[in-house]
Amino acid sequence: MQELTGLRFKRLLLTGAAGALGRMLRPRMKRYCDVLRVSDIAPMDPAGSGEEVVVAPLEDEAAMYALLDGVDAVLHFGGVSIEKPFSTVLPANIVGAYNLYEAARRRGTKRIIFASSNHVTGFYGQGETIKAHVVPRPDTYYGLSKAFGENLAQFYFDRHGLETVSLRIGSCLPEPVDRRQLSSWLSHDDMERLLVASLTAPVVGHSIVYGASNNRTTWWDNSQANHVGYQPQDSSERWRPAIEAAQPQVDPTRPEVRFQGGGFVVLGPFPFAGQE
Amino acid sequence: MQELTGLRFKRLLLTGAAGALGRMLRPRMKRYCDVLRVSDIAPMDPAGSGEEVVVAPLEDEAAMYALLDGVDAVLHFGGVSIEKPFSTVLPANIVGAYNLYEAARRRGTKRIIFASSNHVTGFYGQGETIKAHVVPRPDTYYGLSKAFGENLAQFYFDRHGLETVSLRIGSCLPEPVDRRQLSSWLSHDDMERLLVASLTAPVVGHSIVYGASNNRTTWWDNSQANHVGYQPQDSSERWRPAIEAAQPQVDPTRPEVRFQGGGFVVLGPFPFAGQE
Amino acid sequence: MQELTGLRFKRLLLTGAAGALGRMLRPRMKRYCDVLRVSDIAPMDPAGSGEEVVVAPLEDEAAMYALLDGVDAVLHFGGVSIEKPFSTVLPANIVGAYNLYEAARRRGTKRIIFASSNHVTGFYGQGETIKAHVVPRPDTYYGLSKAFGENLAQFYFDRHGLETVSLRIGSCLPEPVDRRQLSSWLSHDDMERLLVASLTAPVVGHSIVYGASNNRTTWWDNSQANHVGYQPQDSSERWRPAIEAAQPQVDPTRPEVRFQGGGFVVLGPFPFAGQE
Amino acid sequence: MQELTGLRFKRLLLTGAAGALGRMLRPRMKRYCDVLRVSDIAPMDPAGSGEEVVVAPLEDEAAMYALLDGVDAVLHFGGVSIEKPFSTVLPANIVGAYNLYEAARRRGTKRIIFASSNHVTGFYGQGETIKAHVVPRPDTYYGLSKAFGENLAQFYFDRHGLETVSLRIGSCLPEPVDRRQLSSWLSHDDMERLLVASLTAPVVGHSIVYGASNNRTTWWDNSQANHVGYQPQDSSERWRPAIEAAQPQVDPTRPEVRFQGGGFVVLGPFPFAGQE
Amino acid sequence: MQELTGLRFKRLLLTGAAGALGRMLRPRMKRYCDVLRVSDIAPMDPAGSGEEVVVAPLEDEAAMYALLDGVDAVLHFGGVSIEKPFSTVLPANIVGAYNLYEAARRRGTKRIIFASSNHVTGFYGQGETIKAHVVPRPDTYYGLSKAFGENLAQFYFDRHGLETVSLRIGSCLPEPVDRRQLSSWLSHDDMERLLVASLTAPVVGHSIVYGASNNRTTWWDNSQANHVGYQPQDSSERWRPAIEAAQPQVDPTRPEVRFQGGGFVVLGPFPFAGQE
Amino acid sequence: MQELTGLRFKRLLLTGAAGALGRMLRPRMKRYCDVLRVSDIAPMDPAGSGEEVVVAPLEDEAAMYALLDGVDAVLHFGGVSIEKPFSTVLPANIVGAYNLYEAARRRGTKRIIFASSNHVTGFYGQGETIKAHVVPRPDTYYGLSKAFGENLAQFYFDRHGLETVSLRIGSCLPEPVDRRQLSSWLSHDDMERLLVASLTAPVVGHSIVYGASNNRTTWWDNSQANHVGYQPQDSSERWRPAIEAAQPQVDPTRPEVRFQGGGFVVLGPFPFAGQE
C-alpha cells in the first residue's frame, strides 16, 4: 500500500510491537516517521534503520517515562489483547495504560492512538446497530480494561489537553475466518488507514471510532466521528462464500451468536447467566 | 444477476407467488434453496424442478399450518398489496399475517421476511428524512395492516424467538415511472439483494429496513439496520431525465406530493382533511 | 371528587359500559355532559337521567353508525380487555376499533379517547424507563390489538383530522394488589383526571399518554405529552408496606418480573421462548 | 460538467452575480433556465443570450420587488460574504434577506436556495461531527446574519408556504488551500450539484444542507437531508499531500484550529475570550 | 413576595422600563441591587431612592455605551414586544440587541437576562411538547427578531465569554385570559422567580428557558435547563373554570388554535398559507 | 426518619463502615435487616445487636469471599472517597471493586448498591443539564475508578445476572457548605431514601441514578431511572441565603466553577490545561 500521507512525525512510539498486530504494523508505520520506537516485553526483531527497540514493561512507571521521551505520538497496542484473569489484565492494561498516559503527559506527547476494542460494547446484540456514544457494555475483563483506557483518555484530554483517538478494533486479521468476522473484520490495510487518519486529523479531542473494514454487514455506525476521516476500502465480502459454506448454520439463541462480542461473552469457567 | 450467497436453504416458502412481485421473485429465490414452495390463491405456473406449488388462502388457519410444514424461512409477499376497503384488507393482511406467524411458530420456522411497506410511514413528508424507528404514520388501510404485521413480528420475536426482517418496500418495479418513484424506486435486483441479506444475516431479531435502491434522492435512512447488510447497487438516476421531462411540474402543496405516501394519501371516496 | 372542568359536552359516548372500568366511569363522566350515551353488549344498568343506554356490538358496522350519531366525543373502553385467543380479540378490538373510527368520521365526531394499554409496550423491561414514542413491543394478542388501535388513530388524524388521545392504561383498580402494581397502578380518581384532561386539552392531534398514578416507582415518562395536561394526584405508596409484606420476594430472572407486561408475557399454552 | 437535470426553469434569479461565486455560477446556472436574471450592486458582465442583468441593492425594497418579478426560483448569493462590522452586515444580509423574501412572497416565487454558511455553526469543534439540526453557534456577525436568514426562511415556509433550501456552504474555491479546507472544501462542480439538487427536489419545505465535497475528513453529517438528494462527487484528497507538506503543524489549542469556523472565530480587534 | 435571594448586585440595568412588564418588574428588581438603572424611550416614573432613570434609544450606539457603564447585569426587556412591520422591529430588536450586547462587552458586563419569547417557536403545534433545543420556528417578525437575539447571545458567549439566559416568555399577565393562556401563562411572581434564578445561578453560559408558570397544560419541557433552577410556583388552574365557561369551543383546525403561537401566526394583511 | 419499607433483608453488608458516610448509614440501614454486617479497614464501633463487624481489606480476595458469605445485598461504600494518587486509588477502588463483585458472584449475592460519584461526569459544565447515559467525563483518578466500577457492574449484570444500582452521589453532608453544593447536596435522609429505593425496586438490571436532594438548581436529570423510584424530599434551598451571603462572587471562567466537578477538576500538582 502507498503511503497515505505526506506528514512526517519525528518519532512515533509503537507499543506491543512483539504482538501480532505490532509486528504487522511496525514496517507500515515506519514509513510515516523519522524514527519509530517500538517496545514490548517479549523479544522483538533488532532495530532496523530509523528504528529504536526498547524493552519496557507497561507496569514499570520509570521505564514508561523513559519510553515516552521525545515521542510525538503513540500507537498504544501494548498489553493483554485477549481475555485473561483479572489479575493478569490489571497490571498490563489498567496500570499500564495509566503509566503510559502519565508518562505522555509528563513528556509532552501530543496524541495517543489507543487500541481499544469492540469488546467494550460486546454485550450489544448482533441484531442491532450502535454508535460509539452508547453506554459501554464490556463482555470480558479485557473489554473492561479497554473501557477503563477510554475513560482515562477522556480524563487526560479534559484535564491536560492530551488528545486520543480510541479505536474499538473489530477482528484485525489477514482475512476473516468465521461468520461473525464477516461483520467485524478489519483488514491490515484498513488498520493502517485508520491509524494514519487518527494521527493526522488536525483536531480529535477524545474521539472514538470502531475499527472495521467496509464490510457489507456490520453492527457499528461511525457517523459521530466523520471528523477523523477514516474511510475503509476493504471488505469481507469476497470471503463470504467460503465462510458461509464452511459454517452454514448459526444459532441466534446462543449467547456467542446473539451478542456482538461473540465467543468472548461465554469465556471463563462459569455458565452464561446474563439475561439481556 | 449472480447468486448472492453460497448459503442454501432446504425449503423456502414464498407466499403471494401469483402477484407481480411473487412472479418476479420465484425464479430468483429458487436458486437459494433445494425446494421452493410457492403459494397463492390465484393461479400459478406449474411446479418446476425443486418447486412445490400450493393453493393456500392466508385466512385458512389449517391450510397455513400445512403450508408451513418443513419450511426453514418464509418470504411473505401474500395478501393485498394495494389500498382496498378495510373488509378486504382485514382477512388477507391481518388474519392472514396472524395465521402465518402462528403456523410458523407451531412448525418451528426460524425466520420470516415480511413484505411490509413504505405506506406504514406514508404520512411523513417528502421534505424530511426519517429512520425506521419513528412512530408509524400509515396512509391507508393497507399501510395500517402492514403496521399490524410489523407489531406482530415484534411480538413473535419477543415472546417466541421467531425472527423477522420487516421490509418497508418502496416502489418495486422494472423502472421508476414518476417523480415520486425517483426517490422510492426499488429495482428487482436490489429486491433480491435485500431478501438475500435478510435471509442470511446471522442475527436479526426483529429488524426494519426500508426497501429502496441507491437513489440519489430518498426519504429514508437505514442506518439503524447496518447489521442486516443491505447495500443497494441500482439507482433511479438514469430514468431521471425522461421522467422530469414528462412531469416537469409538481405542486408541493398537494397532499399527494407533500407526503411520502404519494397518491395513497388521497385514496378513497372522501376529501383529504388531515392537517399535518 | 369534584368536577374537574366547567366544560360541558352535549353528548359523550362511553363504550364498554358494562365492564369494570365502564361501570366505574359511568357516573363520573355523566357529570361532564348533558347526555351520556353508554354502550356494551353485556347487560347494563337502565338509563338514568341524562343517559342513553344502547346495546351495540362493536363488530356491527351499522350499529356503530347509529351509536355515533350526535356524539361530540367518545371514551372508547369497549372490547376485550384481557388476553384472549386471537379469534376473540380480532372482532372486538380490531374490527371494532375500525368500525368505531369509521363511524366517528362519518358522523363528524371530533375526538376519541382510546383506552389503549401498557401491554402495547409490555416487552420493555421493568428495569428501564421508556417514553411513549418508542417502538411498540406488545406482549399479547390483546396488546397487539391496542397497538393496532393506536395506529388507526394516527391514520384517522393524519387523513381525516379526527383527534385521539391514546391512553396506555396501567393497572386501573381500586387499589394496587401486588409488587408490579406499585409501579403500574392508576387510581379511579386519576383515571377521571386523565379522561378529563384528554377531553379538554384544546389540541391533541394524536397524543399518547401512559395512564398511571403518581407512583414513586414507574417505568414510564410522560414528558412528551405535557400538552395534554395530565397530572396524577394519587400514589400507590400507601399500599406499599402491606404489599411488600405479603410478597417480599420477586425473582428478576423470571419473565413475568423482568418485563413491564408482568404476567401477561407468559400467558398462553406455550413456554416463554423470547430472549431479549 | 454535463447538465445535471432535464428540468427547465423559465426564469431563475442569481443574486450576488458580481461576486466570486456568482461569476462562477452564472454560466453554469444559465443552462438550467430559459432566462437567467443576475443581479448585484457591483459591475457585472453585460447580458448574454437569455440573460437579464439588473443592478439592484438588496436594501432597496422597491428594487427587490421589481427584481423578483416573473422569477420561478432564486439562488440568493447576494450580500456580504465575509466578516464585516455589524453596520455593514446589517443592511446587506439582514435587511436584504428580508427584502428578498418579502418580494418573493409578493411575486409568488416558489423556492429560494439560500447561500447560508458553515459559520452559522462555526463554534462547534473541529473534533466533533454535527448534524444540521443542532443549536446554532455563529462565529461572526456574518455567521449571525446567515442564521437570521435561515430563521427567516423557516418563517416564510411556515407562514407563507415559500420553500427554501439553506446551504451551509463550506469553502467553495477552485481548490483547497489549507488544512482546514481539506475538511470544508466544496468544489465548483459539487456546488452546481448542490444547487441543482436543491432546485429540483420535489418537496423541500425548509431544509438545511451542509455544502462540502465528499472529503475524507469532515465535520458535517447531512443524513437529515437525504430527501434533497445532494451527492458530492469531488474530494479534497488529492490536494492533501501538498497541503500537509506546506502546513505540517497545527496547534489544536488555538481557537482558529480548535473550532470549525477556523480563522473567523478570532477575527476582530479583540482577543478571544470564549471558553467552551 | 419575599426576596428570593440574599445576593446583592451593585447595579442592575432594566431596559424597557416603561413597558407593561418593565413597570411591573421595576419595584420587584429594585430589591436585589444597590442601584437599579432603568431605561426606555417612553416616559418613566422619576427615579426613586437607589434608582437611576435614563432615556436611551436602543438604536443609539453611544447611548448604549453610556447606559451599560458600571452595570453588573442586564434585564433586557426593551424593544418591540408585539408584532410590527419589519421596519419597526429591525431598529428596536435587531440593531438594539446588537448595540446592547456590544456595549455590554465593552463595559465588562457579566450577564444578560434576555427577554426572548415563545414566538421564537410559535409554529410548533399546541398538540406537541417541545424542548428548548429544537430548530426555531418563529411565527412573526417579532419572533424572528427574538431568535436573532438568542443567536447573538450564543455568539457573545462563545466569542467573548458574556453569559446570557434567554427567556422564552409565554403570556406574562396578571392572570390568563383565554384558553391558550391556560398553557402559556406566566404569573408576575413566577417571572420574578425566573429572573432571580437566571441572575444568581453560578454558571449559565447561554441557556434557554421557557417562561411559564407551573400550569397543568403546557407545550414546553424545561428539563435541559435544570441548572438554572427555575421552579414556578403558580398555576393557571384556578382561572380555568371561568375561561372554559367563557370560551367553551376552540377549533383545532384553525391555525391560531393549532399552533403554539396562537393569534400571532395569522397576523398581517395576508391569509395563512403555511402547511405544516 | 421513619422506616421507608416493610421489606426485610436477612443480611445486608455495608462496606466502608468507618467512613463518614458509613458511620451515618450504619444505624439507618440496620433497621432494614436482621443482620447488618459492616466492614472496613479502619477501627469501627463494636458490634451492636444484630450487627457483625468485620475487618476486611478490599484488596484481599480471600477476605472478600468470606465477607460476602450469606449476604443478600451490598451497600458498597468502601474504598477511597476523595482524590488520591493513582497508586492509592488502584488497590482500594479498582482491585477492591473487582474483588467485591467476584466474591458476590461466587457467593450468590443478588444486588449491589454501588456508591459511585458525580465525579464520573465532573467535566460536564455547571451550565448544562445531563442525563446518566452520557459519555463519562471523569475529573480525577477517583472519578475514573468510579467509572470503572460502573462498567464492572454492567459487566456482572450482562454476564452473570448480578444487579447493581450505581449511585452518582453528589455532596452527601449534613448541610451544604458552598455555592456548588447548593446544586449537588444530598441530605442524609435522602441518601437513606435512595438506598432503600435501590434495594427494594423489583428489577434494576444495572441502573445509574444521580444522588442529589430535590435542590432547586441541579445539573442532573434522573428521568432515565424512574423505575428505581428515588424521590428526594429535602432541598438545599434553606441554606441558600447564608451561603450566598458568605460567598457572593463566583467566577464562571475558573475551571472549578465552570465544571460540575468543582474543585476536583484542578486537584493535583499541575495546572489545568484542558480546553473544553
How much of chain A exceeds pLDDT 90, in percent?
93
What is the C-alpha to C-alpha distance for residues D149 and D76, in angstroms, rounded to an integer? 11
Q: What is the distance between the alpha carbons of residues F219 and E130, in angstroms, rounded to a whole number?
A: 20
Q: Give Cα separations from E138 to A118, C166, D159, E121 (angstroms).
A: 44, 30, 9, 5
Residues of E in contact with C227 (CB under 8 A): 126-129, 183, 217-219
In a domain, F82, yes or no: yes
Q: Do D253 and F276 touch (CB under 8 A)?
A: no
Secondary structure element (H or E) that encloses residue D267, with its range: none
The CATH number assigned to the domain holding F158 equals 3.40.50.720
pLDDT of residue D274: 82
Phi, psi of C225 (to 5 degrees): -130, 35
pTM: 0.97
User: Of B98-107, C124-133, E265-274, which gets the smallest average pLDDT?
Assistant: E265-274
Find the catalytic residue in B98, B142, B210, B230.
B142
For residue A196, tell me if it sits in a domain: yes
CB contact under 8 A, B274 and C205: no
C-alpha cell recorded at residue B252: 408541493
Least Cα distance to F9 among C249, C246, C242, C253 occurs for: C249
pLDDT for residue B110 is more than 70: yes
Is the pLDDT confidence value at B276 over 60?
A: no
CA nearest to A132 within chain F:
F135
Largest CA distance in chain E: 54
Q: What pLDDT digit, counting tens, does each position of A178-211 carry?
A: 999 999 999 999 999 999 999 999 999 999 999 9
Asked if B123 lies within 8 A of C154 by C-beta distance, the reply is yes
User: What pLDDT band is residue B275 in, cutting at 50, 70 and 90?
Assistant: low
Strand partners, E82: none
- Which residue from C6, C8, C203 is facing E126, i.e. has the nearest CB? C203
- Distance CA(D80)–CA(D71), nearest Å, equals 23
Q: Residue F204: its chain C contacts at CB < 8 A?
A: 127, 252
Structural domain total, chain D:
1
Q: What is the residue range of F254's domain?
A: 9-266
**Looking at the predicted structure, is the pLDDT value of residue F276 above 80?**
no
In a domain, C273, yes or no: no
Instruction: List the catalytic residue out of D142, D156, D210, D230.
Output: D142
* For residue F266, pLDDT beyond 60: yes
List chain B residues with CB under 8 Å of E275.
253, 258
Q: Which of E32, E142, E210, E230 is catalytic?
A: E142
Distance CA B116, CA D86 (A): 54
The pLDDT value given to residue F6: 83
The residue whose grid cell reads 443549536 is: D135
Residue F207, classed as helix, strand or coil, is strand
Contact E226 F241 (CB under 8 A): no
pLDDT of residue F271: 86
Q: Which residue has the cell 457572593?
A: F248
- On whether the CB atoms of residues A124 and A143 are closer than 8 A, the answer is no
> What integer pLDDT is reported at residue D38 of this predicted model?
98
From chain A, the residues in CB contact with D129 under 8 A are 223-227
Are chains B and E in touch, 3+ Cβ pairs below 8 Å? yes
Per-residue pLDDT of B20-79, as tens digits, reads: 999 999 999 999 999 999 999 999 999 999 999 999 999 999 999 999 999 999 999 999
Q: How many CB atoms sit inside 10 A of residue A153's CB? A: 25
At residue E184, the pLDDT reads: 98
Q: What is the pLDDT of residue C274?
A: 82
Q: Do β-strands F73-76 and F33-40 pair in parallel, antiparallel, or remain unpaired?
A: unpaired
Pairwise CB contact (< 8 Å): A159 & F151? no
Tens digits of residue pLDDT in E77-95: 999 999 999 999 999 999 9
Q: What is the mean pLDDT of chain A?
A: 96
Distance, C-alpha B110 to centroid of its chain: 19
With beta carbons less than 8 A apart as the criterion, state whether E15 and E100 touch.
Answer: yes
b/e map C85-107, b = 16+ CB within 10 Å: ebeebbbbbbbbbbbbbbbbbee
> For A32-54, what is each residue's pLDDT tens digit?
999 999 999 999 999 999 999 99
8 Å CB contact between D21 and D115: yes
Q: What is the mean pLDDT of residues F134-146?
A: 98
* pLDDT computed for residue F141 by the predictor: 98
Q: At what angle do helices E188-200 and E20-30 cross, to 10 degrees?
A: 60
Q: Where are the beta strands (DSSP E) in E156-216?
A: 163-169, 171-172, 185-186, 206-211
Number of Cβ within 10 Å of residue B54's Cβ equals 16
Nearest CA distance, C145 vs chain F (angstrom)? 26
Q: Kindly state the DSSP code that residue F18 receives in the 8-state scheme.
A: T
CB atoms within 10 A of CB D123: 26
Using DSSP, state whether C260 is helix, strand or coil.
coil
pLDDT beyond 70 at F270: yes
Q: How far apart are CA D258 and CA D251, in angstroms?
A: 8
Q: What is the pLDDT of residue E269?
A: 78
Angle at C134 between CA B75 and CA F125, to 5 degrees: 135
Dist. CA C31–CA B130, nearest whole Å = 44
The full DSSP string for chain E is ---S-S--EEEEEEESTTSHHHHHHHHHHHTTEEEEEEEESS--PPP-TTEEEEE--TT-HHHHHHHTTT-SEEEE--S--S---HHHHIIIIIIHHHHHHHHHHHHT--EEEEEEEGGGGTTSBTTS-EETTSPP---SHHHHHHHHHHHHHHHHHHHH--EEEEEEE-EESSS--SHHHHHHEE-HHHHHHHHHHHHHSS--SEEEEEE--S-SS-SEE-GGGGGG-------GGGGHHHHHHH-----TTSHHHHBTTGGGGG-SSS------
User: pLDDT over 70 for what percent of chain E?
Assistant: 99
Q: Is F137–A158 a contact, with Cβ atoms under 8 angstroms apart?
A: yes
Question: Does residue C16 form part of some domain?
Answer: yes
Residues A64 and A98: beta-carbon distance below 8 Å: no
Q: Looking at residue C275, what is its pLDDT? A: 62
**Residue C242 to chain E, least CA–CA distance (Å):** 32
* Residues of chain A found within 8 Å of residue D216, distances taken between Cβ atoms: 197, 229, 231
**Quick one: what percent of chain E has pLDDT higher than 90?**
93
Residues of C serving a catalytic function are 142
Residue D203 is assigned to a structural domain of this protein: yes
Q: Is residue F243 part of a domain?
A: yes
What is the β-pairing status of strands F130-131 and F220-221? parallel
**Residue E190 within a domain:** yes
Average model confidence (pLDDT) across chain B: 96
Q: F125 and D276 in contact by Cβ < 8 A?
A: yes
Q: Is residue E128 part of a domain?
A: yes
Cell numbers given for D224: 437529515
Taking CB atoms and an 8 Å limit, are A5 and D253 in contact across chains?
A: no
A253 vs C275: CB contact, 8 Å cut-off? yes
Specify the pLDDT at position D134. Answer: 97
- Shortest CA distance from F244: residue in chain E: E7
Using CB atoms, which chains have 3+ pairs under 8 A with C? A, B, E, F
- SS3 for A223-275 is HHHHHHCCCCCCCHHHHHHHHHHHCCCCCCCCHHHHECCHHHHHCCCCCCCCC
DSSP code of residue F135: P
The reply to whether ipTM tops 0.90 is yes
Residues of chain C with pLDDT under 70: 275-276
Q: Each residue's pLDDT tens digit in chain D (276 positions)?
A: 888 888 999 999 999 999 999 999 999 999 999 999 999 999 999 999 999 999 999 999 999 999 999 999 999 999 999 999 999 999 999 999 999 999 999 999 999 999 999 999 999 999 999 999 999 999 999 999 999 999 999 999 999 999 999 999 999 999 999 999 999 999 999 999 999 999 999 999 999 999 999 999 999 999 999 999 999 999 999 999 999 999 998 999 999 999 999 999 999 878 888 865
Is F142 labeled as catalytic in the residue annotation?
Answer: yes
Other C-beta atoms lying within 10 Å of the C-beta of residue D8: 15
Amino acid identity of residue A198, one-letter, is S
Strand partners, A165: A113, A207
Catalytic residue among F32, F98, F141, F142: F142
Mean pLDDT, range A6-19, rounded to an integer: 96
Residue in E218, E244, E257 closest to C203 by CB:
E257
DSSP bridge partners of C240: none
